[in-house]
Amino acid sequence: MRDIDLNDYDYDLPLERIAQYPVNERDMSQLLVYEEDKISKDIFRNLDDYLPSDSLLVFNNTRVIRARILFRKETGASIEVLCLEPLSPFEYELSFNSREPVEWKCIIGNLKKWKGEKIITPFIYRGKEYELTAEKLQPEGESRRIRFNWNSKGISFGEVIEATGHIPLPPYINRDDDADDIDRYQTIYSRIKGSVAAPTAGLHFTYNVFEKLKEKGIKSVEVTLHVGAGTFKPVKSKNISDHEMHCEHFFVTAKTIELLLDNQGKIIPVGTTSVRTLESLYWLGVKLIHNPSGCRSELSLGQWEAYYMETNVSVKESMEALLNLLRERNLSYINASTNIMIIPGYDFRMINGMITNFHQPRSTLLLLISAWIGKNWKGIYVFALENGFRFLSYGDCSLLFR
């Protein structure tokens, strides 16, 4: 860990190569394929040509919420509140369905201008005007606890933010969100609300692509990991061990775990969020095996735990431990959180390929890519830059095999 020099994970990314808008048709983005040390180029519409017919694709079905809420004070100062995760009620679904005040962990833009305790913004819902109030409470690490209240018991908080909020585009997309982003910054299979960033590898999929995959016999399952704003947090520390990884909540059904168990050696996650979910799932099973009573109250994986646990547990044993836990509790899905940081030297357990976009220099996501394919990431990124690929969230895609 301490031997990792972040300068080795840097590259020159010209601003004009950062996609500011998506391509007109989702599946007409470019596709880079890396297999057996060879790089080729195609369009995403032909993805099925490069996947083994017995593959199991794993999709993150999280849905981006309109988490960016703008308030304007009487002085004219603008204050931005970015909702990260619910605190009270703690469950996403309960918070979105609540018709009472809710509290969220938030990042505040222009915090110095927020002098009083409360700020208010008007919003229109079904033709009527209401007010949303934000009350500043105690700090939550680098964020703040914010209590939201609104003057109608007939409207849920989920409906409130749909009416008031904006799509939280990444900071490197240097423009305001527009009407098209409401659709295009979501995967077509997004269902479970909770993310403040899209699982962008999934943005390229269309119903036509899904039909071609189905015709080839390729299977798919879904997991849910709510992507946090920390995914864009740059690594500023000199030593990677000093970087604090963000926490993300994920959900995996028993049926999905059974399919993962039945398809070992064939699993290809769509996006780094699916990678993190699958690898975290394995280590949670290992924790259960080594300490059955210690992690039953709360299933969570720390940032570096995977590097210090014994590794002689098979995937089969890990998945069965999780399934046994669900049977004991009479539950249909795992509800857990992870801070896992995947860096070069990590021993992947669950995956056999990866579909992902192109990531920022010196980022934790680029470290994950390097952990998967080694130093060859440099050649892949040079090829992408020299062949007109578009980078980051609205950019092009890659299929990476070892």
Position 360 in a domain:
yes
Q: Is 80 exceeded by the pLDDT of residue 112?
A: yes
**Is 136 part of a structural domain of the chain?**
yes
Instruction: With respect to residue 24, please indicate whether it lies within any of the assigned structural domains.
Output: yes
Are residue 91 and residue 217 in the same domain, yes or no? Answer: no
Q: Both 373 and 242 in a single domain?
A: yes
CA dihedral 51, 52, 56, 57 (to 10 degrees): 0
CB 377 within 8 A of CB 369: yes
Tens of pLDDT along 210-231? 999 999 999 999 999 999 877 7
Neighbour count for residue 247 (Cβ, 10 Å): 17
Instruction: Output the six-digit token pair for 135.
Output: 């009350």
- Both 206 and 336 in one domain: the answer is yes
Residue with tokens 């209590």: 147
Evaluate whether residue 258 is within a structural domain: yes
Tens digits of residue pLDDT in 129-174: 999 999 999 988 889 999 999 999 999 999 999 999 999 999 999 9
Confidence of residue 296 (pLDDT cuts 50, 70, 90): low
Residue 173 belongs to some domain of the structure? no
Residue that is last in its domain, among 122, 137, 165: 165
pLDDT band at 77 (very low <50, low <70, confident <90, very high): confident
Q: Is 176 part of any domain?
A: no
Residue 189 counted as domain residue: yes
Please, are residues 389 and 395 in contact by the beta-carbon 8 Å criterion? yes
Last residue of a domain, one of 165, 196, 226: 165
Going by pLDDT thresholds of 50, 70 and 90, the confidence category of residue 275 is very high
Least confidently predicted of 70-79, 310-319, 333-342, 376-385: 70-79
Residues 226 and 341 in one domain: yes
Containing domain of residue 233, as a range?
6-64+185-400
* CA–CA separation, 324 and 342 (whole Å): 27
Burial class (CB in 10 A: 0-12, 13-18, 19+), 258: middle
Answer with the one of 136, 165, 194 that is the final residue of a domain. Answer: 165
pLDDT of residue 295: 59
Q: Are 255 and 152 in the same domain?
A: no
Q: Are residues 133 and 206 in the same domain?
A: no
Question: Can you tell me which residue has the tokens 């605190």?
Answer: 87
> Does residue 402 carry a pLDDT above 70?
yes
Q: Judge if 268 and 362 occupy the same domain.
A: yes
Total domains, the chain = 2
Q: What is the mean pLDDT of the chain?
A: 94
Q: Is residue 171 part of a domain?
A: no
Distance of CA 102 to the CA centre of its chain: 23
Residues 142 and 263 in one domain: no
Q: Are residues 81 and 42 in the same domain?
A: no
31 in the same domain as 147: no
- Which CATH number is 338's domain given? 3.40.1780.10
